[in-house]
Every structure is written in C-alpha cells, then in structure tokens.
Amino acid sequence: MPTPTKGPRLGGGPAHERLMLANLAAALFEHKRITTTVTKAKRLKPYAERLVTFAKRGDLASRRRVLGLISNKGVVHELFTDIAQAVENRDGGYTRITKIGNRKGDNAPMAVIELVLEPVSAKQAVVAEATSAAKRDADKTADKKEAAAPAAAEETSAEEAPEAEVVEAPAAEEAVEAPEAEAATEEAPAAEEAAEEPAAEEKDAK
C-alpha cells in the first residue's frame, strides 16, 4: 500500500484507519463520487487508485487481494467489470478531488472525490495513435531488413561463383596444352633420328 503520510491517523488506531479507507473506497466505487473532508480524500486517492490498478489486471490473484480489503462482493464485481473497462485506456489518474468549501458547524474543509470515467481526450488519443504508428513503422523496417539480408547473401554467392569458374578455366587450358607440348617434344627426337638415317646411308654408299 502507499506510504502513509506523517501526522495523526484518521482513526484511533491503524486498524481503524484501514477500515475507514476500505469503507470510503467501497462507497466511492458504488456511487462513483462521494463528499468527505479534504484530509480523507487525499488519503483515499492513492488507496482507491491502487485498487483500480488491481481491477485492470483482472486476474484471480488481484480479485482475491481486493476482496481481502473490500468485503462487498457486489462492489468488487462492479469494480472489475464496469470501472476497469471504463478506465482501460487511461494510464493513471483514476480519481479527481474538487474542493467545495468548509462545512457548517465545525468549519472543516470539504471536498468531492470522484472517479474519472470519461474517455481519454482527443489529444491523448492522437498521441497514442502516433506512438502506435511509429512502432508499426519500426517493425515493418525491421522486417524488410531481415528479408533483404538473405537476398543479399544469395547475390553475393552468385557473384562469387563465376569468379571460381574463371579461375579454374586457365588450369583446364594448361591441362589441354600440356599434352600438346609433350607430343611436340616426343616428335622432335623422332625427326632428328629420321634425318640422321639418310646421312648414314650416304656415307656407306661412298
């Protein structure tokens, strides 16, 4: 729960104060607005807003936690269904305090505390829409980058493939030229032997 303010308690003891805040919160959720003193309204504001936060969660643990403070099941049901749905798009500020002057008799400062159930203003709606649009654009950009990465990798591999073929081509040509050079080398001694034989025959004839 919120840190209690310094000074005297609302009731005679801490248990009394907790019961007073729980009863004030139940009355606020049931009637949507109540009139009380300024001191009680300021103490009730964080207490009630925390209960509304539990109601917006909507899970079983939150419901049991609220039922531990407010025993009226009908009020808790209304809090978790109607009020939580009404403030679904609001990020805090679920209550409003309006001072109405002093009370007759003891001259205590009075105030009206009420739930803010109006829809979010047009300006806030525009800001929320712009934020969501920016988020969608960022997601689309990230998806495009992820889709472009595999395509770039494929192009790179396709460009590297011809280079490998070009490098291998001279090796094949050298392999073809090598047998021709060997054949030419083998033919040269044969030609020399053929030229030497007629010369030897002419000498014998003489």
pLDDT digits (tens, 9 = 90+) for 7-21: 778 888 889 999 999
Q: Can you name the residues that pair with 115 across neighbouring β-strands?
A: 95
pLDDT digits (tens, 9 = 90+) for 35-77: 999 999 999 999 999 999 999 999 999 999 999 999 999 999 9
CA gap 184, 97 in Å, rounded: 110
Can you tell me which residue has the tokens 């001191």? 39
Confidence of residue 111 (pLDDT cuts 50, 70, 90): very high
pLDDT at 124 over 90: no
pLDDT of residue 139: 84
Looking at per-residue pLDDT, the higher value among 186 and 74 belongs to 74
CATH homologous superfamily of domain 14-119?
A: Ribosomal protein L17 (3.90.1030.10)
pLDDT of residue 128: 67
Structure tokens at 156: 């790179």
Pinpoint the alpha helices (H) of 12-72: 14-31, 38-57, 60-67
% pLDDT > 90, the chain: 47
pTM: 0.57
The residue type at 157: S
Average pLDDT taken over every residue of the chain:
79
Domain boundaries, the chain: 14-119
95 neighbors 114 (Cβ within 8 angstroms)? yes
Q: Give the mean model confidence (pLDDT) for residues 22-27.
A: 96
CB neighbours (10 Å) of residue 22? 17
Give me Rg for the CA atoms of the chain: 47
DSSP symbol at 166: H
Residue 42: Cβ-neighbour burial (10 angstroms; 0-12, 13-18, 19+): middle
pLDDT at 106 over 70: yes
% pLDDT > 70, the chain: 66
Confidence of residue 136 (pLDDT cuts 50, 70, 90): confident
56 neighbors 84 (Cβ within 8 angstroms)? yes
pLDDT of residue 196: 57
Give, in order, the Cα–Cα distances in Å from 158 to each of 95, 152, 162, 170.
65, 10, 7, 21
